[in-house]
Amino acid sequence: MVKWTEEERQTIRSVWEKVDIDETGPQLIARALIVYPWTERYFGTFGDIFTTSAILTNAKVATHGKVVLRALDRAVKNLDNITETYAALSRLHYEKLKVDPDNFRLLADCITITIACKLKAALNPQVQATWQKFLSAVVEAMNNQYK
């Protein structure tokens, strides 16, 4: 289980409170689909996600971004319990959605870069280190039920 110092908890909260889910959510999944186009395989019901302009205007892409960030919010609020908090989500992604877990790592990198555009210098090296520790815990929890 991951251990968090009080300083790390504050850092994660202070990054998260600067994120507007309605603004960042759509940007996140759009960026993932554009930068890692093979992720399109998981969104067969989303309609046209095959060009940059289609991705950037796709309503289902935008909605799904908010879904993902609302799930991330649960991790922020349950730092001492991320593995259990995400057990059902992990099982869902493995058994039903059949997502290659390497994509969780790619999405985490996209989250950092999307947030970096918003926070700019506020995401200093120390903050990035703590945020990366948090995302690594999230990615590990998402991998946890793949067995």
**Interface with another protein, residue 2, by CB under 8 A:** no
- Collapsing DSSP to helix, strand or coil, 76 comes out as helix
Question: Rounded to an integer, what distance in angstroms lies between the CA atom of residue 113 and that of residue 117?
Answer: 6
Nearest of 107, 99, 5, 126 to residue 44 by alpha carbon? 99
Helix or strand (DSSP H, E) at 52: helix 52-57
Nearest approach in angstroms of CB 132 to another protein is 5
- The one among 119, 140, 143, 146 contacting another protein by CB under 8 A: 119
Q: Specify the stretch interacting with another protein by CB under 8 A; choose among 17-25, 57-65, 71-79, 126-134.
A: 126-134
- The one among 112, 140, 143, 146 contacting another protein by CB under 8 A: 112
List the interface residues with another protein, window 53-72 (CB under 8 A): 56
List the interface residues with another protein, window 16-35 (CB under 8 A): 30-31, 34-35
Residue 34 structure tokens: 């554009």
Query: Among residues 46 and 90, whose Cβ is nearest to another protein?
Result: 46
Q: For residue 147, which amino acid is it?
A: K
Q: Which residues bind to another protein, rule: CB under 8 A? A: 30-31, 34-35, 52, 56, 109, 112-114, 116-121, 123-126, 128-129, 132
